Amino acid sequence: MNFKTCSTALAVALLTATAMPAYAQKAQNTVRFAYDQVPENIDPFFNNVRIGVIIGQHVWDTLVFRDPATGEYKPNLATSWEWIDDRTLEMELREDVTFHNGDAFSADDVVFTLNYVANPDNRSVTQQNVNWIENVEKLGDYKVRITTTKTFPAAIEYLSGPVVIHPGKYYEEVGPQGMNTAAVGSGPFKVVSHDVGRQLVLERNEDYWNENKQVPNIERLIIRFIPDRQTQAAELMSDGLDFIMNVPVDQAEQMGMMPNINVKSGETMRIVFLQMNSLDNTPAEPLKNEKVRQAINHAIDRQTMVEQLVGEGARVIDVICFPAQFGCSDEEATKYEYDPEKARALLEEAGYGNGFSLDIYAYRERQQTEAMVNYLREVGIDANLRFMQYAAFRDANRAGEVAMSHQTWGSFSINDVSANTPVFYKFEADDVNRDEEVRDLLQTGDTSVAADERAEAYKKALGLISQRAYAVPMYSLTSYYATADGLEFQPYPDEIPRFWEMEWK
């Protein structure tokens, strides 16, 4: 099966496009960036799509900074920290930080932000990033104590990533919706306008304090939400954009031949998997049968998809986590080789020799989903694609309306299995299998103080998920970036383009 195709529209654009250096944007020191998903809210605690993570790192700051090159934790809004006991973390705070609205940063901001988002009544959609926080209290104007709900060794990792700090007084006044329409942070860029669903305009924070990041080289960043990637590519080639990411491999190969476009790529922490609902109320009764789920694992040629659709640097995975994350082990995993004959035999054994129908939901990398659909149809499973924006998919999935879904997960760039596998297998909102044995092992991994105990628990949990075929682990994703000629850019595995580092040559 050969998946390499290029649409007529793109092919024509590639043939007719001429070198059009982005002189106007260079002169204005502006970068125009397009993304294919629309965040339901740019408040980092109320969206969980990648563009929300990217915006969060540019508009807000975190208590701790993790160096993307070395993994070293460094002071950020917190100047130092100390574990008083297994569940008590005390942090000294920086005294010279000002939010974009002029409010001075203090312990009050940390206390309000973290207590607000950790309270489940406030319905943060990223509860998995904050539900380890039991309470935060002020010990002084620039000192806080964080008490965890349980022993949580990965706390510093979370505080260096998705857990940003809002201006407390302002956040209390406007709430998440107000933060969406008029965001205020302390980061290297400040929001000057937000046309919800269409465009976000950021300007350089000239007074930025952070020694770990920097005052940005570029003055203005315009983020446009353009769901169609063909449109993004066409705009980049006609000088309507300067930066796009997640470019399909066939487009990237052709765009890389153009003199006015630079293409870079690299493996990311993002994994791809097919999730299967095996609960009693699943919309597809056959998925309750383990042999059917095993058949689906054997039906898909993951290696060919990596080579033809994903791109150089990606790799096939056998467990639901990224190999570099702490605790990610496939030692006890079942290795499902591509074997359509075995898939058909398993379906026959399960009583579905004549096949069955189901819907497969997806929200990104549509070309990859279509390939999965074709593989399933080849073994007798009539899969029908339902493609939508992530927020709509998430709500349907959590309501039990989704039998099978093609999902990706970037772990909010957290380099620990606790940010990955437990999201889908610890009886939280996105768990559609509810295996008590798996849940308990993951809980042990999340809370054990000893690293070897954590690793062993995660390994066993990942092995059971694989043996019971609750999902089809697919591969890591390679991200292709295309930029206007003259824009200097360094990609990182965490999928966060650092616009504060970029500059026009």
pLDDT of 348-362, one tens digit each? 999 999 999 999 999
Q: Which one, of 367, 375, 376, 270, lies nearest residue 313 by Cα? A: 270
Q: What is the pLDDT of residues 360-379, one digit of tens each?
A: 999 999 999 999 999 999 99
Boundary residue ending a domain (176, 203, 227): 227
- Residue 203, in any domain of the structure: yes
> What is the per-residue pLDDT for 266?
86
For residue 410, the cross-strand partners are none
- Residue 162, in any domain of the structure: yes
* Judgement on whether residues 141 and 193 belong to the same structural domain of the protein: yes
Q: Which one, of 195, 154, 261, lies nearest residue 39 by Cα? A: 195
- Residue 209, in any domain of the structure: yes
- From residue 152, how far is each of 12, 85, 149, 450 by CA, in Å? 54, 11, 8, 11
* Judgement on whether residues 203 and 333 belong to the same structural domain of the protein: no
Q: Which one, of 165, 64, 63, 161, lies nearest residue 109 by Cα? A: 165
User: Residue 7: pLDDT above 50?
Assistant: no
* Judgement on whether residues 325 and 399 belong to the same structural domain of the protein: yes
Domain count, the chain: 2
- Residue 260, in any domain of the structure: no
Q: What is the pLDDT of residues 281-337, one digit of tens each?
A: 999 999 999 999 999 999 999 999 999 999 888 999 999 999 999 999 999 999 999
> What is the per-residue pLDDT for 26?
75
The domain that holds 52 is classified in CATH as 3.40.190.10
- Residue 29 zone, left/alpha/beta (φ > 0; ψ -120 to 50; rest): left
Three-state SS at 91: strand
- Residue 249, in any domain of the structure: no
Residue whose entry in the numeric block shows the structure tokens 């990955």? 420
Q: Which one, of 325, 272, 292, lies nearest residue 459 by Cα? A: 325
Q: Which one, of 311, 405, 385, 312, lies nearest residue 4 by Cα? A: 311
* Judgement on whether residues 51 and 168 belong to the same structural domain of the protein: yes
User: Residue 5: pLDDT above 60?
Assistant: no
In this structure, the number of other CB atoms found within 10 A of the CB of residue 84 comes to: 10
* Judgement on whether residues 193 and 314 belong to the same structural domain of the protein: no
* Judgement on whether residues 297 and 213 belong to the same structural domain of the protein: no
* Judgement on whether residues 284 and 338 belong to the same structural domain of the protein: yes
- Exposure string over 235-252, b if 16+ CB within 10 A, otherwise e: bbbebbbbbbbbbbbbbb
* Judgement on whether residues 377 and 429 belong to the same structural domain of the protein: yes
* Judgement on whether residues 214 and 97 belong to the same structural domain of the protein: yes
* Judgement on whether residues 352 and 402 belong to the same structural domain of the protein: yes
Three-state SS at 233: helix
The Cα 89–Cα 118 span in angstroms is 16
Boundary residue ending a domain (210, 227, 244): 227
Structural domain of 180: 24-227
Tally the residues of the chain: 505
* Judgement on whether residues 190 and 290 belong to the same structural domain of the protein: no
Q: What is the pLDDT of residues 464-493, one digit of tens each?
A: 999 999 999 999 999 999 999 999 999 998
User: Residue 27: pLDDT above 80?
Assistant: no
- Start-end of H helices in 380-501: 390-398, 421-425, 436-447, 451-467
Burial classification of residue 206, based on how many CB atoms lie within 10 Å of its CB (0-12 exposed, 13-18 middle, 19 or more buried): exposed
> What is the per-residue pLDDT for 3?
57
- Residue 369, in any domain of the structure: yes
The Cα 8–Cα 68 span in angstroms is 39
